[in-house]
Amino acid sequence: MNPTWKKWITFVAVAVTVFTIDQIAKWRTVATLDVGETWEAFPPIFGIIQVTRTWNPGAAFGMFPAGSDFFMILAVITVAVFAAFYPTLQPEARFSRLGIAMICGGALSNAFDRFRFDGQVVDYVYVQLTPTFANISNFADHFITIGVVLLLLEQWRLDHLEAQRVAEQERLAQELYVAQAEPNAMWGFTVWPVESPAANGHLPTPLAADAPPVAGDLKQTPSQEMNRADDVVSS
């Protein structure tokens, strides 16, 4: 299968799943409960989470209660931007692909609510954290939040892999630099390579190839000594 088509199939499958789950929950809430009513047949979770129907004209989790038209337009723009960005993701960016699909599915579900219910969204997950603080949301909000977290995790993972790659390249470059200098050590001195990608100016100054050897560093071979003796006798 074409990799591009595979990406889009994954995107559509996740987004449609998120949209469907949230819309089914909203349909059930609207069909069963009046506004402000709590579903008594559904016991509270951990004593703080219960199903209560309410209308939300604002953003996710009941924030910014005014400006419903703005949030509907913002949701459409968000989906369009992410959909355009989605094909550019690398194959290994699995978290990003999943996160973007979740965000788009949740945003479309809430935008669909605003279109149907005169700019309002059906919320049904009521959380009473403290006696003075409560929050109400829906599954679309939760999927959007999970999607954002996945994007952040993906960015952290890619930054970590890039740092490892750079460190490995520097290590290999340093090993190669040292290995190039070792064969010259048999002459009693070290000739460092003229260029080193990892030296960074901290290694000894390179010794040019045509520089004269230091006295005492090199010993004459027997043939050189015999030639020198013949020259002395001839003179």
- Residues belonging to the active site: 123, 141
Q: In 10 A of CB 102, how many CB atoms?
A: 25
The CA distance from 36 to 52, in Å, is: 6
| Cα 35 to the center of its chain, rounded Å | 41
Burial degree of 89 (CB within 10 A; 0-12, 13-18, 19+): middle
User: What burial letters (b/e) apply to 196-206, b meaning 16+ CB within 10 Å?
Assistant: bebeeeebeee
- What tokens were used for 212? 């004269």
The CA distance from 148 to 90, in Å, is: 18
- The helix or strand, by DSSP H or E, that contains position 134, with its residue range, turns out to be strand 133-137
